Chain A
């Protein structure tokens, strides 16, 4: 494998030295472009108290092209599908090299605080979120408790 770009090394060091509150991202032993991530569910959201595992991969072109990010822990959210794929513009056409691993993960955490059922990826979840928000929030809370809590 080609030498790891210094930008990735710099980002990794900063993630270790000045971690973002509520987010932890650790590179894999065998592949420094692959990160194990934990995002904590934001306060006052149905995901509060949850520890959500994600995987983040920096493609060859990074930072010119966006990191690939996916939820590993099950989550009930209108913009995240059953495979854990995330619908977020900065991961697609709104990517910019001025964004970083930390800003991407902060955006994902913000998405948990502000679900957007009008731009759905998980259609059944989005539908319920629109017609019966309180039931959808109950489901999200139940999934968080069942799958993402660390006792």
Chain B
């Protein structure tokens, strides 16, 4: 069997297994060039429980499988850099191990296993800046950003309250005709969530064990530098004197209508 035939056979098998989930592009000589598929964790077809995904792109050199293909991971979602790096390292090892044999299906399985193991966003919640621990209840927005449900609820409740407070300050003719629209803290995309349901979530685990703030000696040094600069600038008249500025009134003289600034 020629090289070409063995590759052809490998791709046929992949197409038979993955069907529409795989795309194969060919070069002008009709040689298969790039194989692409998006991989999700195995969650027994429960799509809403898939929190991470990544697109695998395999570039086949003419001499494949006798030499290793070049593999790229694209559009990772919910995965941090170290997780991606680990998967990449495992891919490299797998390619070496399977030199001379078809490897693409092996790669897909390897990535799927890694995703299933870490089917928990490894990125940070942009609201509390902490990660997601086992047992934390979190929400995936339609724009694929992750928040602890507890944090997202806080965001939605408070931004709605602030919006209302701003509206209440305005005279009737200036009030916005638009209703409050919740938006994603990361990308400002409009989102709609059931706040009541989110509110029932417990705070993230990492937040519970509160740690105290401590003033270190480095901090003391910085505070002192700041103080010195303040004194230096104050002596040069460079510090804004709020009281003096506020007391600068605009005096309208009765006669000519000119305004004079007095201190």
Contact = CB atoms under 8 A, between A and B. Distances in A.
Interface string B155-189: 10011001000100000000000000001011010
Given A11-B129, A146-B238, A3 B210 contact: yes
A6 B240 contact: no
Contact of B226 (A6, A32, A53, A82): A53
A74 B239 CA distance: 6
B215 interface: yes
B229 A53 contact: yes
A4 B186 CA distance: 24
A84 B246 CA distance: 12
Interface string A1-27: 001101111111000100000001011
Interface stretch (B11-19, B22-30, B40-48, B217-225): B217-225
A112 B154 CA distance: 33
A131 interface: no
Given A9-B213, A98-B185, A147-B233, A83 B240 contact: yes
Contacts of A10: 129-130
B223 A73 contact: no
A96 B213 contact: no
A96 B162 CA distance: 12
A97 to B, nearest CB: 5
A97 B245 contact: no
A150 B246 contact: no
B227 to A, nearest CB: 8
Interface in A57-98: 61, 63-65, 71-74, 82-84, 93, 96-98
Given A6-B211, A27-B219, A65-B162, A98 B126 contact: yes
29 contacts: A3-B210, A4-B212, A4-B213, A7-B127, A7-B128, A9-B211, A10-B129, A26-B219, A26-B223, A26-B226, A32-B213, A36-B230, A38-B229, A61-B158, A64-B159, A64-B162, A71-B240, A72-B240, A73-B233, A74-B237, A74-B239, A83-B240, A96-B183, A98-B127, A146-B236, A146-B237, A147-B238, A148-B233, A150-B232
Interface of B: 126-130, 151, 154-155, 158-159, 162, 166, 183, 185-186, 188, 206-207, 210-213, 215-216, 218-219, 222-223, 226, 229-230, 232-233, 236-240, 242, 245-246, 248
